[in-house]
Amino acid sequence: MPETHHLSQATFERLTAELEELTTHGRTEIARKIQAARELGDLSENGDYHAAKEEQGKMEARIRHLQALLEHAEIVEAGASDVVRAGSIVSICYEGDDEPERYLLGSIEERHDEVEHVISPGSPLGQALIGASVGDVVDFEAPGGRLKVEVVDIEG
C-alpha cells in the first residue's frame, strides 16, 4: 500500500499548479529545446541536445513524483492542537540533550523557512509522536537502538 502524504491545502494547491505547469508549458519548452538542438546536426557530439535530454529526464521524474504524491495526498487542517498530529511543528528534546529541535511532522514538500527538518508521520519517530502532548516522553526504534524524546512544544 502506498504511503499517505500529509499536505496542507496550500501545499496541495502549489504542487497541483506545479504539476500543471510542468505537464503543459514545461514539456512544450523542452520539446522546443530538443528540436533546436537537433537542428544543429550530429547528435552524438551535440552538448545542447544532451543537456536538453537530461533536463527532460529530470522534469519527467519530477512529474511522476508529483503525480504519485498528489494521488496519495491527505489534506491536513492547520490550527492549534494539544496533541501532535500530521501538520504539527513539534519541538522535541532527545534524552541526554539540553537543546530542543524543531520538526515539521508531514511531507518534505511542506518544508518552509521556519522549519529546517521534516519527520514523516509514517516513520518510527513520527508514529511515536502522533497523539503525544507537551511533556510526554515517547520512545521509538531507531537504527542505532531505542531512543526517547520529550515533547517540549507543539505548534499548529
**Mean pLDDT computed over every residue of the chain:** 87
Name the DSSP letter for residue 4.
P
Q: What pLDDT sits at residue 121?
A: 86
Grid cell in block for residue 2: 502506498
* Number of domains within the chain: 2
> Is residue 64 very low, low, confident or very high in pLDDT (cuts 50, 70, 90)?
very high
Round the CA-based radius of gyration of the chain to a whole number and report it: 21
In a domain, 83, yes or no: no
Choosing from 43, 75, 107, the residue where a domain stops is 75
Mean pLDDT, to the nearest integer, of 59-83? 86
Which of 44, 75, 106 finishes a domain? 75
Residues 114, 61 share a domain:
no
Task: Tell me, yes or no, whether 20 and 66 share the same domain.
Answer: yes
Predicted confidence at residue 113, as pLDDT, reads: 65
Which three three-digit cell numbers place residue 37? 538542438
134-147 residue pLDDT tens? 999 999 998 889 99
CATH number at residue 110: 3.10.50.30
d(C-alpha 89, C-alpha 55), whole Å: 35
Same domain? For 94 and 145 the reply is yes
Report if residue 84 sits inside a domain: no
Question: What is the distance between the alpha carbons of residues 77 and 2, in angstroms, rounded to a whole number?
Answer: 21
User: For residue 69, which of 125, 120, 112 has the smallest C-alpha distance?
Assistant: 120
Tell me which amino acid residue 133 is: S
d(CA 37, CA 54): 13
Range of the domain at 146: 89-155
Tens digits of residue pLDDT in 99-115: 999 988 888 787 766 67
The enclosing domain of 59 has a CATH number of 1.10.287.180
Quick check: pTM over 0.85?
no
Is 106 found in the same domain as 48? no
Query: What is the torsional sign of CA 137, 80, 6, 118?
Result: negative
**Helices of type H across 5-154:** 9-21, 27-38, 47-71, 124-129
126, part of any domain:
yes
